[in-house]
Amino acid sequence: MKAAVLTIPLEDAELVEQCRNGNLTAFGRLVTKHQDCVLNTCWRVCGDRQEAEDLTQEAFIRAYESIGQFAGRSRFSTWVYRIALNLAISARRKDRHRRTHSLDEARCRQEDEPQRPAAERPASSEPAPQDRLLSREEGRGVLAALERLDDESRAVIVLRDVEDLSYDEIAEILDVPNGTVKSRLHRARLALRDQLAKPGDTA
């Protein structure tokens, strides 16, 4: 008999099932598994780290509250992304007038970074100091440019380029067809390119 390849770490579906039975520990495991991704998405969409933490918290609380309604047709991560993204976008809309995103935030967060897999990092993992400085400058410029994009464009760029999700996953999260993701992402990148090209914006 072909032996099944067994991996004891529980899959999301199983953890969700346990959550439905009121198992809070299982939900804790789900939170541990997905909190970084959700936090980064919220951070890049709303632009404020502290607010992103609050939104992440709220997203997981809402997910737990409505886990009975989670049909399991999509992945749990996709579902939480959607909740978080909706929260982040509506929070941003509410606070648009008062939010003044600190461009220095990127510098403050450099200590936490970078969590991307090694394979996705540049070949030289230890950049020279001047390169690092340049990278920071770039980071500020990108943040500022992202800030100026509309919510839809920012969301699609964050999901694709920050979270590295596939078009299908993005389509599911944003609840739009795959083709819409494609065109929206193209427009968003063009807009971002134009924003980045504007002189003096990176300062």
Partner 1 sequence: MKNMDEKAQRYEQLTAYLDGELPEEQRREVERLLEQDADAGKLLEELRETSRLVAAMPRCKASPELMASIMGRLERRELLAELEPPRLRGRKTSSLQWVRPLGVAAGMAIICTASWLIYTQTETMVARKASPSGGIAQRNGADKIAPTGASEREGPDNKTVAARPSHRTEGPDLAFGASKQRRSEEAEERNTAAAAAPTDAGKLSRRAQQAAPKSETLMGESLKRDTLATAERPAGTLGKPHLEAADAAKEPPAAVPGRRLDDALAANKLDVGSILEADCDEFSNRIVLQTDQYTAQEITARVKQFMSLREIQDLRTSPSNEPVAETQAFYAVGIEGDPANTASRREEILRWEPIRVVANLSVGDAAKLVESLQQVTRRRQNAQWMANSRPLSGRESVDELAGLMLTFAMKNDAAGGSGTPTAAPNQIRSAAGGAARSGEERFKGERQSNETLGAGNGRRTRPEPAASTTPPATQPAPGDDRFVTLAILLTPTPAPLPPSARSPAREGTPASSPAATQHTETPSEDEDDGQP
Q: How far is the CB of 89 from partner 1 (least distance, A)?
A: 18
Give 153-164 as a DSSP string: HHHHHIIIIIT-
Nearest to 64 by CA among 75, 52, 74, 79: 79
Residues 118-147, mask of contacts with partner 1 (x by CB under 8 A): --x-x------------x--xx-xxx--x-
> Binding of partner 1 at residue 64 (CB under 8 A)?
yes
CB 42 within 8 A of CB 84: yes
* CA atoms of 203 and 201, how far apart (whole Å): 5
Task: Give residues 18-57 in contact with partner 1 (rule: CB under 8 A).
Answer: 18-25, 27-28, 31-32, 35-36, 39-40, 43-44, 49, 53, 56-57
Written as one letter, the residue type at 1 is M
Smallest distance, Å, CB 83 to partner 1? 13
Q: Which position among 96, 98, 112, 200 is part of the footprint of partner 1 (CB under 8 A)?
A: 112
Q: Which of 93, 132, 193, 198 binds partner 1 (CB under 8 A)?
A: 193
Min dist. Cβ of residue 67 to partner 1 (A): 5
Least distance in angstroms from the C-beta of 113 to partner 1: 3
What's the rounded Cα separation, in Å, for the pair 28 and 7? 19
| 159 lines the binding site for partner 1 (CB under 8 A) | no
Amino acid identity, position 114: P
Cβ proximity of 85 and 40 under 8 Å: no
